Amino acid sequence: MPTPEDNTTPEDNTTREYNIVTLHRKIQNSDLYGIDKYLRSKYVNGTLGTYKRNALHVVAMSGCKEAWVLQEIIDLSEDVNATDIDVTALMYAAKYAHLEVVTALVKHPKIRLTVQDRYSKTALDYAHALDDAHKNNKTEIVKLLGGDAKVVGGGAAVGGGSERPFGTLKL
């Protein structure tokens, strides 16, 4: 059983912003006790300011090696396709090459793989944009999102500003 590393709880501070940042910090520090307290709070579906970022977005950006934490956040999420301005948790997970998060999200019965951001990019486009430093995860993520595993290369920016294609076909 996790042990407390500090005496704070999500209920100690009523701002959603504090609690979303706190969750991120607890995930980064593998503070299982703190994560568990957060998951039992009312802030799991709270959003952060203008961005409308929730706990699922935070996990998608940060990654999460603890399978039970990831699954609990997904299960507690009111909408797995919710957007942070216009980006879903699945897009963030693909963008940051978090294979474990992509894998868990694509298994969810309500996940929509075809949601597009303001630049008409999907999670698959974000996966194709990964650079070669994430080659292993990139191949797996592209497959999970229904893409062609023969597509290689990439590294183009997603979110405007680049006319470069997201990958080239291997001949």
pLDDT per residue as tens digits for the range 118-136: 999 999 999 999 887 788 8
User: Is 5 inside a domain boundary?
Assistant: no
User: Is 14 inside a domain boundary?
Assistant: yes
User: Is 3 inside a domain boundary?
Assistant: no
Query: When comparing pLDDT for 117 and 64, which is higher?
Result: 117
pLDDT band (50, 70, 90) for residue 58? confident
User: Is 41 inside a domain boundary?
Assistant: yes
The CATH code of the domain that includes 46 is 1.25.40.20
pLDDT band (50, 70, 90) for residue 161? very low
For the cut 50, the answer to whether the pLDDT of residue 21 exceeds it is: yes
User: Is 4 inside a domain boundary?
Assistant: no
User: Is 162 inside a domain boundary?
Assistant: yes
User: Is 16 inside a domain boundary?
Assistant: yes
Query: When comparing pLDDT for 125 and 36, which is higher?
Result: 125
Task: Provide the domain count of the chain.
Answer: 1
Q: In angstroms, rounded to a whole number, what is the distance separating the alpha carbons of residues 150 and 11?
A: 49
For the cut 70, the answer to whether the pLDDT of residue 18 exceeds it is: no
Q: What's 101-159 look like in SS3?
A: HHHHHHCCCCCCCCCCCCCCCCHHHHHHCCCHHHHHHHHHHHHHCCCCCCEECCCCCCC
pLDDT band (50, 70, 90) for residue 159? very low
3-state secondary structure of 168: strand
Q: In angstroms, rounded to a whole number, what is the distance separating the alpha carbons of residues 145 and 138?
A: 10
Structure confidence by residue, pLDDT tens digits, 80-106: 999 988 999 999 999 999 999 999 999
User: Is 1 inside a domain boundary?
Assistant: no
For the cut 50, the answer to whether the pLDDT of residue 1 exceeds it is: no
Closest CA to 94 of 60, 46, 143: 60
Range of the domain at 53: 10-169
Give the mean pLDDT of the chain: 76
Dig out the tokens for 115 from the structure. 């949601």
For the cut 50, the answer to whether the pLDDT of residue 157 exceeds it is: no
